[in-house]
Amino acid sequence: MTTARPLTCVACGHTEHRRIAEARSGRAMMRCTRCKLIFVVPQWTDPLAENIFHTYDGWPAGLSGGAADRRGIMQGIARSLLARKPDGGRLIDVGCANGMFFDVLRSESASTARRQAPIAGERGRSPQPLWRFYGVEPDPRWQGVFQPEITIRAQPLRSCHFPGNFFDVVTLLDALYYLPEPDKELAEIARILKVDGLFVFDIPGQWYLRMRGIIGRFFRLQRTRPFTAYPFYFSPFSLKHLIQNAGLEVIVTEVGRGALQSERLFRTLLSGYIAAVKAVCRLGPGWPPYIAPMPVYYVQRRDRNRL
């Protein structure tokens, strides 16, 4: 099997890395010694990934829209998004699976509008945000589940050739680690995002996954081997490189919520842990990327400052 690029870190360009695990696919997982990005070898590129939905090629079945119930996480993200984009606009959800985020955002928009509705007799514009939804979902299993007013493209984002400066909001929820060549993907997101647009993504934190693995092994639970399921695991430093190189910048990182855990013990531990993380993060806004189970990044274009 050939790799499309030499074995350099896709985030920082460093060439030194260390083998840390064997992926479930049987491939080697490496960690960049500089930015701590964990990546699979052979590196995850478009040619390798294009057949993933037909073969899964060793990656977990149920790739898009697995068992995790993310509605609660999405509600939190939708509320933060509405606070920053109260008028709505064109929104694309990259890796939208069954379109759960569209439903959640629609319903949060309606409840925000109800809360802010002008009192009868008073004049005022309707606060209901107007959204135009787009989705990218290469997994063929989800075709046909969407309402006709949602534009869904059944191909990877970079094959869609959307116009530049087109979307008010781009969301990439719990999916960045699956995308081949994340440097190119983020550059494409920066291109299609409006200058005053907002890009939102969330991914599991490395520190949390390591801790979950240790606790899981101790209690003999499931999913105890961290860094073996996805092609990439991003460290805060590797994300910083990727985001900067794409012409983007992080406005704020929120703690978010971890996905609903199937094991009761983990559910209890996670709630306690998130409460502790939120308390720590109130002391310093730089903490969420390091300690949150599922930090949520709010990102804008760097050239926005020239507006």
The footprint of Zn ion (CB under 5 A) covers: 9, 11-12, 14, 32, 34-35, 37
Nearest residue to 146 (alpha-carbon basis) of 104, 72, 96: 96
CA angle (215, 230, 57) in 5-degree steps? 125
* Preceding peptide of 42 cis, ω within 30°: yes
- Nearer CB in complex with Zn ion: 31/90: 31
CB of 10 to Zn ion, least distance (A): 8
Looking at the Cβ atoms of 11 and 209, the one nearer to Zn ion is: 11
Least Cβ distance, residue 119 to Zn ion (angstroms):
55
Nearer to Zn ion, 34 or 225 (CB): 34
Taking the least distance from each CB to Zn ion, the nearer of 9 and 91 is: 9
- Collapsing DSSP to helix, strand or coil, 248 comes out as strand
Judged by beta carbon, residue 235 or residue 261, the one nearer Zn ion is 235
Spatial contact of 17 and 9, defined as CB atoms under 8 Å apart: yes
N-terminal to C-terminal alpha carbon distance within the chain = 47
Q: Which is nearer to Zn ion, 12 or 246 (by Cβ)? A: 12
What phi, psi does 92 have (nearest 5°)? -115, 130
3-state secondary structure of 108: helix
Q: Provide the token pair at 306.
A: 């020239």
CA-closest candidate to residue 59, choices 142, 172, 139, 171: 139
Instruction: Give the pair of three-digit tokens for residue 16.
Output: 């030194």
**Considering the complex, what minimum distance in angstroms separates the CB of residue 6 from Zn ion?**
14
Nearer to Zn ion, 39 or 273 (CB): 39
Q: Output the smallest distance, CB 203 to Zn ion, in A.
A: 16
For the chain, what's the residue count?
A: 307
Q: Is the CB of 34 or the CB of 304 nearer to Zn ion?
A: 34
Under a CB-based contact definition with an 8 Å cutoff, are residues 171 and 189 in contact?
no
User: In 3-state terms, what secondary structure has residue 142?
Assistant: helix
CA distances from 42 to 27, 34, 48 (A): 7, 19, 9
Least CB distance to Zn ion at residue 37 (A):
5
* Shortest Å, Cβ 241 to Zn ion: 7
Instruction: Please tell me the distance from the alpha carbon of residue 59 to that of residue 25, in angstroms, as a whole number.
Output: 6
Residue 48 Cβ vs Zn ion, minimum distance, rounded to whole Å? 20
- Grouping H, G, I as helix, E, B as strand and the rest as coil, residue 16 is coil
Nearest-approach distance from CB 35 to Zn ion, in angstroms: 3
Task: Provide, for the chain, the percentages of residues in helix, strand and coil under a 3-state DSSP scheme, each rounded to the nearest 5.
Answer: 35, 20, 40
